[in-house]
Amino acid sequence: MTVEFAVAFALFAGVICYAVLGGADFGSGFHDLTAGGSRRGAPLRTLIDHSIGPVWEANHVWLIYVLVMWWTGFPQSFAAAMTTLYVPLVLALVGIVLRGASFAFRKYSETLWQARLFGIVFATSSVLAPFFLGTIAGALASGRVPEGGNGDPWTSWLAPTPLFTGAISVGTCAFLAGTFLTADAARRGQASLAARLRVRSLVVGAATGAVVFAALIPIEHDAPTLWDGLMSRAAPIMALSALGGIGTLVLLWTGRFGPARLTAVVAVAAVMAGWGVGQYPWVLVDQVSIAEAAGARTTMQGLLVAVAIAAVIVGPALAYLFYLTQSPRWNDAAQGDMSTSAGSTHWSRRVGG
């Protein structure tokens, strides 16, 4: 294994982590957006607050990790992408900032109209941000970023593959979040909410699968290099993703919500890994390979040392954080808070409950 490949592997591992963890975070906004009016949507929005509240900052650390690894390890390709795809990049970053601020402001709103306003901004931004991030991935994968940068700022991402990738990104995030939220609701004894989320997740999962199959036709013609990789070396990984998605739908249908979370993670992680394997060895498809885009060898070695140190220091802390949010003590505390401050005061007070 070359040092360039090791850095690229570490970078893409961050992409997969962001897709799974940040994706579930983004997807909660879709369910917030479609939860219904103030009274009907109150239980779901309260569940979302308690499910993502402790971890949403940690989830988006992966985006910083990916960007730092990219511009440090493969600087010329990063510059080319940023000077070409600055429109969707800026829109995605604006969406991330707005959803974060609105998520916090909504919780401390004093009136119903304020809560609604910040809720709309949070939910809408949560849908738009993964869409634009998906278009960036699609533009890179379809070879629309020239080696020298400064490609067309509009046609580079307003094209079949980027737009389908953006739509798939939104659907995948919503499906992942729905599966997680269904399990959270069931674990907290909210049977009616779990049943409602179960139906939502099944519908979103089926719709996302349909979009994926529909995207295969334009991708074959619009991104032939990616298509060849997906149909050859990445085919087993894509098959694993399909099995994970189907398995998640079956588990949701039969009410086995805990295992459904694991198969949903497998489905999302596998589709992202399949994309990376299908695109290999290109950083900018048909333009710059991993070896050609790599920075100085000493820089690459330093990055690997930094990744190793971060894995030792940050990895256990993140794992413990996620463990705490799934522990009985946290669930009991959250359930009590939902039945007092959040459940009866935060939302019900605003709707006259």
pLDDT, tens only, 120-131: 999 999 999 999
Name the amino acid, one letter, at 340: T
What is the reported pTM? 0.89
Model pLDDT for residues 97-122, shown as the tens digit of each residue? 998 889 888 878 888 788 889 989 99
Q: Are 261 and 179 in contact (CB under 8 A)?
A: yes
Average of per-residue pLDDT across 200-225? 91
Q: Are 142 and 75 in contact (CB under 8 A)?
A: no
Query: CA separation (Å) from 152 to 44, 75, 111, 145?
Result: 42, 20, 45, 9
List residues bridging with 235 in a β-sheet.
Answer: none
Mean pLDDT of the chain: 88
Could you give the CA distance from residue 252 to residue 72 in angstroms, rounded to a whole number? 42
Is the per-residue pLDDT at 248 higher than 90? yes
- Lowest mean pLDDT: which of 56-60, 133-137, 210-214? 56-60
List residues bridging with 288 in a β-sheet.
Answer: 284
- Lowest mean pLDDT: which of 51-55, 121-125, 338-342? 338-342
Range 228-233 contact pairs with CB under 8 angstroms and sequence separation of 24 or more: 228/278, 229/277, 229/278, 229/279, 229/280, 230/274, 230/275, 230/278, 233/277, 233/278, 233/280
